[in-house]
């Protein structure tokens, strides 16, 4: 029998090669390449799967069969992000920065699901059972019927789950799990991939929902090979800034619901509290109209959210002025500055530009272009935008303003929070029941001339 060829894998990016080297050619990391031991393939007659692996015709599937029932935990924000509740047999990966509150969120969710009648096991590979119980006592969850376990051996965990047969199992975290048949250290690419594959397959076979907690890298991505995110059904990121009490649970992948959906929580002394009206919370500390402050009416998933963009433009003594951005794409900021200079004749050379999204929120929507441009111009000209006005619209490289989707929902959310006016691109479908005074703009030059009296 021919000897299996050795494979070497980078712990940082997951790239594979046939020989070892001191530096990974894909990501440039040093001393990150380790030998990967391939999994042994058993005989075909004893392979797992059974009837699950057999093929059937698509036309044989009954259209009258009801979808698997979802279980709601009672936390409206979590149920929203999951797509309406927990689907039986689903695999969910939750990632976030250290200390952001992942374990707190999942312990509260485990207690909610257990109280809803779902047998739940919380397996901790980072803490002892007494430490988890101490956190549950602080959160007031000691009466919840959640079973706790502290274990890192994957074989023992699978045996326990197969014996207990819970409906929900939470594994905290996947980087601490190790399989005894894989010859590498816990947390390596081989161990993480093997543990995720075994647990995901087990979830599908037994109909048990499995939640995996994943660490993140310095770039904010879930550590380990990206194939783990492809294995699971749902990938959630728990985001937030240390200086803010807000926490955002964002779905970046969901096979059972909409992606890019968000749930907003507030960190308190007794754990995470739901925020049912995030727009009011993000704007609660907003002061009187000030230059550089603009409210943007955005959409996160299916929910309209109003956030405040803050800009500061100041003379720079540096040969290359600063461009500092928090909560938005720095490349898109450079594009907005270039369009303002090329199409409107407003230069920002020799000026430091600082842009911030208040409340620690992260915005990736192109509809925020016009709000950013308004904040920059307001800060540069030292002229405040009226406090009761919201702004949204996409800016093209020609300086034209493009309409954005779900305009009516944005306007309804703004009206609900007491705003009376809006600035939007022409051809926007505003509807007739918004009740706001809508000022429509065709291009950026007209916007500058109409709002700031120049251009």
Q: What is the pLDDT of residue 27?
A: 83
CA atoms within 13 A on the CB side of 62: 4
Q: Give the residue ranges of the annotated binding site.
A: 96-103
- Cα gap 209→146, rounded to integer Å: 15
CB atoms within 10 A of CB 51: 6
Kindly report, residue by residue over 337-384, the tens digit of the pLDDT. 999 999 999 999 999 999 999 887 889 899 999 999 999 999 999 999
Q: Give the residue ranges of the annotated binding site for ATP.
A: 96-103
Kindly report, residue by residue over 172-227, the tens digit of the pLDDT. 989 999 998 888 888 888 899 999 999 999 999 999 999 999 988 777 777 777 78
Kindly report, residue by residue over 115-150, the tens digit of the pLDDT. 999 999 999 999 999 999 999 999 999 899 999 999
Domains of the chain: 8-32 (no CATH), 76-276 (3.40.50.300), 281-452 (3.30.230.10)
- % residues pLDDT > 90 (the chain): 60
Q: What is the mean pLDDT of residues 311-318?
A: 94
Return the structure tokens found at 255: 């096979």
Kindly report, residue by residue over 233-257, the tens digit of the pLDDT. 999 999 887 777 889 999 999 999 8
- Cα gap 247→267, rounded to integer Å: 7
Name the band, by pLDDT with cuts 50, 70 and 90, for residue 313. Answer: very high
Return the structure tokens found at 144: 């919840």
Q: What is the pLDDT of residue 139?
A: 93
Q: What is the pLDDT of residue 39?
A: 47
Kindly report, residue by residue over 278-290, the tens digit of the pLDDT. 888 788 777 677 8
| 420 touches 436 (CB < 8 A) | yes
């Amino acid at each position: 029998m021919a000897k299996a060829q050795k494979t070497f894998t980078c712990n940082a990016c997951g790239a594979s090669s046939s020989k070892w080297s001191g530096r990974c050619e894909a990501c440039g990391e040093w001393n990150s390449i380790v030998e990967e031991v391939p999994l042994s393939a058993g005989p075909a007659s004893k392979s797992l799967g059974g009837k699950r692996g057999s093929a059937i015709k698509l036309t044989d599937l009954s259209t009258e069969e009801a979808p698997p029932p979802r279980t709601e935990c009672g936390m409206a924000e979590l149920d929203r992000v999951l797509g309406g509740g927990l689907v039986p047999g689903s695999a969910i990966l939750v990632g976030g920065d250290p200390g952001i509150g992942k374990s707190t969120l999942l312990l509260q969710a485990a207690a909610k699901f257990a109280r809803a009648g779902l047998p739940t096991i919380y397996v901790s590979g980072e803490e002892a059972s007494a430490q988890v119980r101490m956190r549950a006592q602080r959160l007031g969850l000691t009466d919840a019927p959640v079973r706790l376990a502290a274990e890192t051996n994957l074989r023992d965990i699978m045996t326990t789950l197969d014996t207990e047969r819970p409906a929900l199992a939470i594994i905290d975290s996947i980087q601490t799990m190790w399989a005894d048949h894989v010859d590498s250290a816990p947390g390596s690419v081989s161990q993480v991939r093997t543990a995720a594959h075994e647990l995901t397959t087990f979830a599908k076979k037994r109909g048990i929902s499995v939640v995996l907690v994943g660490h993140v890298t310095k770039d904010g991505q879930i550590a380990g090979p990206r194939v783990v995110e492809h294995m699971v059904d749902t990938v959630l990121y728990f985001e937030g800034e240390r200086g803010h009490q807000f926490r955002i649970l964002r779905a970046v992948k969901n096979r059972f619901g909409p992606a890019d959906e968000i749930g907003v929580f507030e960190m308190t002394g007794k754990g995470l509290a739901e925020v049912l009206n995030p727009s009011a919370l993000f704007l609660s500390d907003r002061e009187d109209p000030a230059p550089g402050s603009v409210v943007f009416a955005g959409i996160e998933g299916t929910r309209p959210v109003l956030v405040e963009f803050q800009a500061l433009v100041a003379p720079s003594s540096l040969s290359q002025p600063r461009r500092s951005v928090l909560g938005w794409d720095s490349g898109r900021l450079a594009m907005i500055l270039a369009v303002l200079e090329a199409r409107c004749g407003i230069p920002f050379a020799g000026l430091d530009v600082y842009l911030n999204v208040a409340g620690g929120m992260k915005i990736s929507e192109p509809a925020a272009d016009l709000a950013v441009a308004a904040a920059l111009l307001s800060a540069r000209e030292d002229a405040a935008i009226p406090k009761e006005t919201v702004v949204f619209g996409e800016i093209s490289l020609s300086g034209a303003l493009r309409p954005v989707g779900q305009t009516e929902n944005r306007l309804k959310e703004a009206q609900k929070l007491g705003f009376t006016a809006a600035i939007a691109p022409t051809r926007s479908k505003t509807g007739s029941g918004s009740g706001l005074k809508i000022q429509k703009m065709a291009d950026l030059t007209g916007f500058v001339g109409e709002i700031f009296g120049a251009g």
